[in-house]
Amino acid sequence: MQTFAHGSVVWEVARPRRPGRVAGVTMAGFRIRDLDALRMVPHPAAMLLIDFSAGSIVVDDAGGLREGGSVVAGPGIGAGGTVRVRGENVECVQVRLSPVVARAVLGVSPADLDGALVSLDDLWGREVSRIRGRLGDVPSWQDRFALADALIARRHETGPPVDREVAWAWHRLVRGRGLVRVDELADEVGWSRKRLWNRFRSQLGLPPKRAATLVRFDHAAHRLVAGEPAARVAAETGYADQSHLHREVMAFTGATPATVADEPFLAVDDIAWPTGQAALLRERN
């Protein structure tokens, strides 16, 4: 377990020692004594938050929705800086699910979440209390990760897969860091643009153009956190200019690029998910 301090808030962060059984699934464990209104920054993955705290964790959005405990959200949740997480004596496992595997694991398409937070109890029923109890009972974070991994592998094995063409299009967007045109994707999979848009949206939870924009933003945001100048980030990540980057960062987070560069939600990624953008940037530079 590693420690991450941001202002007066101290996070204890744990990571699995071994890769999980399902490609496209990553997880981390968090223990935070006093979490005060953490802004969630949109990410190109579905989120599964399994809370087993002795204390409390609450997720709020600007529309007044408030969910306590374990929650699920589709890709891009938190756009506009509208979602905040707070709590005391928080202990949880956060799982990031590639949209390609999210439908099988969750039991519903990310599109069915309709861009909102959903209580995990509403999806999985009484199974959630059993999972929370087992996570709280085991003695170590590695045991918790093993339990979560087994659960996800079992659900993925029996859940419905996405179309092969949709999965290929998603991976193509990620590899291209969002700089791929939808027409090109449709041509490459041999579908019409309309068919790709419909299948992609219904199975992954967002249309291809929005997915590309989110992937591009995520890459740019992590480069900002890594300390790169906004002008350079804009020029090298596909934005027309620095003003374009500024507008998109504001749209996704409700904050300026300078503020986003200090966001704890992004800064902790280098500890919780070290194979992500920050690690790639170290290799690049």
Tens digit of each residue's pLDDT (9 = 90 or more) over 69-82: 788 999 999 888 88
Residue 264 pLDDT > 80:
yes
Residue that is written with structure tokens 């790169």 in the block: 228
DSSP 40: P
**Proportion of the chain above pLDDT 90, given as a percent:** 67
pLDDT for position 277? 44
Residue 150 pLDDT > 50:
yes
- Report residue 281's pLDDT band, with 50, 70 and 90 as the boundaries: very low
- What's the distance, Cα to Cα, between the start and end of the chain in Å? 27
Residue 280 pLDDT > 60:
no
Residue that is written with structure tokens 């989120």 in the block: 47
Look over the chain and give the mean of its residue pLDDT values, rounded to a whole number: 89
Is the entire prediction scored with pTM above 0.75? Answer: yes
**Quick check: 48 and 29 in contact, CB under 8 A?**
no
DSSP per-residue string spanning 125-168: TTHHHHHHHHHHHSSSHHHHHHHHHHHHHHHHHHSPPPPHHHHH
Residue 241 CA to its chain's centroid (Å)? 26
pLDDT in tens, 8-55: 788 899 999 999 999 999 999 999 988 887 888 999 999 999 999 877
Spell out the domain ranges in the chain.
Answer: 2-158
Contacts of 13 (CB under 8 A, 6+ apart): 1, 2, 3, 4, 28, 29, 30, 268, 271, 272
The domain defined by 2-158 carries CATH number 2.60.120.10: yes
Residue with more model confidence, 47 or 4: 47
User: What residues are paired with 26 via a beta bridge?
Assistant: 96
Token duo for residue 90: 């928080």
| Distance between CA atoms of residues 13 and 10, nearest Å | 10
User: What residues are paired with 48 via a beta bridge?
Assistant: 72, 95
Sign of the Cα torsion 70, 10, 228, 252 reads positive
pLDDT for position 62? 66
pLDDT for position 188? 93
By CB neighbour count within 10 A (0-12 exposed, 13-18 middle, 19+ buried), where does 73 fall?
Answer: buried
Residue 103 pLDDT > 60:
yes
- At residue 4, the 3 state secondary structure works out as strand
